[in-house]
Amino acid sequence: MRQGNLSRGTPNGKGREGGLKRPGAVTKMLMLSRWAKHGGTCRDSPRIETPGRSWLATYGPDGSRNRIVVVAVVVEVVVVVVEIVVVVVVVVVVVVVVVVVVVVVVEVAVVILV
Residue ranges covered by each domain of the chain: 3-82
pLDDT tens track for 92-113:
999 999 999 999 999 999 999 8
Tell me: pLDDT of 71 over 80.
Answer: no
DSSP three-state, residue 114: coil
Whole-number percent of the chain with pLDDT over 70: 47
Assign 39 a pLDDT band (cuts: 50, 70, 90): low
Beta-ladder partners of 54: 49
For the chain, report the end-to-end CA distance as a whole number of angstroms: 73
Assign 37 a pLDDT band (cuts: 50, 70, 90): low
pTM of the model: 0.40
Amino acid at residue number 99? V
Rounded Cα gap, residues 50 and 37, in angstroms: 21
DSSP track, 21-74:
PPP-HHHHHHHHHHHHHTTS-TTTPPP-EETTEEHHHHH-TTSTTHHHHHHHHH
Assign 44 a pLDDT band (cuts: 50, 70, 90): very low
Give the model's pLDDT for residue 17.
Answer: 47
Tell me: pLDDT of 34 over 60.
Answer: yes
Residue 45: phi, psi to the nearest 5? Answer: -65, 135
Give the CA count within 13 Å in the CB-facing half-sphere of 11: 0
